Amino acid sequence: MPGLSAHKIAIVRTLVESSPDKVVGALQAALASTDLDSDLGGVRRLVEHEAQDRRLRNVVLQPVAALFLGDGRATDRLTFPTRALALIWRGLKQDAPNEMAIAVAAAVEMRADEPDPGVFDILAARAADGLRRREQRDFRAAAEVCDLARPGGADLLCSCLDLGPIGRAATRRLGEWISRTSDENTAAARLAYKDAVDVAEDAGPRFFEMLAGQLASPWMVLRIISAVMDRPHETYLAQSECAGFALRVMDDIDLGLVAIAKLDVDGGPRAGLAAAKVVEDVTLRISELEQTIELARAGPWGSRLAKQKQALAACVEDRLRAAEKAAGDALPTQGAKIARLFKQVPRLDIPLDPSAFTRAMTLLTFTHQIRSSANYGGFASARTKLCEKLGETIDHYVEEVLDRLREGEVADPGLARARLEAAAEFSALIRDPKAAEIIRRRMLAACVESHPEPEA
């Protein structure tokens, strides 16, 4: 590694080895164009080697790899310390070098449509054996780290590794199981569950935790649980060892409702988009619970979910009302007497307020982005009424400003154009981009009419 001392090499290696997978992946991408002969070329090689090693590790230990999160002390789900994963992998390299060499070759040649090589399951079993024996230094350290995170943590991890072959086989069909309901898929899921509880009578929850870790949306594991239990009634599921999966989803809904209520209206479109994404996630979770569990309206879970749906609709509708006010603040009007009548006309004697515009864009972005969630979330009518009312208000506002521009009644045309541009931005969100372009074209035409080119 030219240009770096041995001490600096050690520091970089320690930092890379202790970094999460996402960080290592980001480093690899950032260094991809670095010349291998430069001072940073050695760092690139080190990062690439670490990334490749982790990819192999995550393939070999795939059934449990996703369970290693943070310090492993989560109380609402099954997790293990991330440090333990690195120690287990180091222990396997020391304890099973021949199998590791075979695994490296198998990972290179393996195709997506082929079964995983048996050597991966052999290595997972060696890891469980090493953790139980605690003779090898790295395995002993990993077991101690797991036990510190939770009582009996190492034994719990071993019991998950024992389910490795079943979990690995189930993962290959997981996408099909959650995307398509059929007798065949239901039977396959039930068979996998039976195989898991044949290994250990209490293995069911661990098996589902392992499957949830393989999903981009872990809460979708409820579909597998529902298939295995034949869409259980909430009373039955609440008394089972799998009750935590449903409770976790309801707790996440509560957290989502808090996040929506705390939308930073000064955060701009990005904040509005983020809050709308939370609305979508909450509605999806509510739908998942209703479809996978037989809920009783008066039952603890059914009544809780009903209250959550009501809270979601109320929270969103409050944001919709705020969006209307914010748009009005960004496009201020004032009373004027016209032909013996008093009416509200655009106020064009003050600059556009950046803060008011930002708040309006935040809330209107939120309004725009919740359109796909509105029907199921119970706020489609409120959203439609807002868009229609605000659209009419903006249309009237735009016509007034354009008329004054054409007649040359605007002291500062720049202020009028800024208002029209803001109105165009709002129209794009409550209608579509085409509506915004129409406003912009009409604005240009009005400016030309108010300042015609002199005759030759």
- End-to-end Cα, the chain, rounded Å: 74
The pTM is what? 0.87
Cα gap 87→55, rounded to integer Å: 16
CB contact at 8 A, 330 and 360? yes
Residues 13/46, Cβ–Cβ less than 8 Å? yes
The dihedrals phi and psi of 394, each to the nearest 5 degrees, come to: -70, -40
**For the chain, how are helix, strand and coil distributed in percent, rounded to 5?**
70, 5, 25
- Integer CA distances (angstroms), 245 to 42, 269, 288, 364, in order: 45, 33, 12, 35
Q: Which residues contact 272 (CB under 8 A, 6 or more apart)?
A: 263, 361, 362, 363, 364, 365, 366, 367, 369
Cα dihedral sign, 347-352-354-359? positive
DSSP codes of every residue in 268-320: -HHHHHHHHHHHHHHHHHHHHHHHHSB--TTSHHHHHHHHHHHHHHHHHHHHH
Please identify which residue in the block is written with the tokens 């154009």.
417
Cα–Cα dist 380/369, whole Å: 12
Please report the pLDDT score of residue 4 as a whole number: 61
The confidence score (pLDDT) of residue 338 equals: 64
Q: How is 169-226 classified by DSSP, letter by letter?
A: HHHHHHHHHHH---HHHHHHHHHHHHHHHHH-TT-HHHHHHHHHTTSSSGGGHHHHHH
Q: Which residues of the chain have pLDDT under 50?
A: 1, 454-456
| pLDDT number for residue 26 | 78
Domain ranges across the chain: 6-57, 163-229, 231-456
Q: What is the pLDDT of residue 265?
A: 96
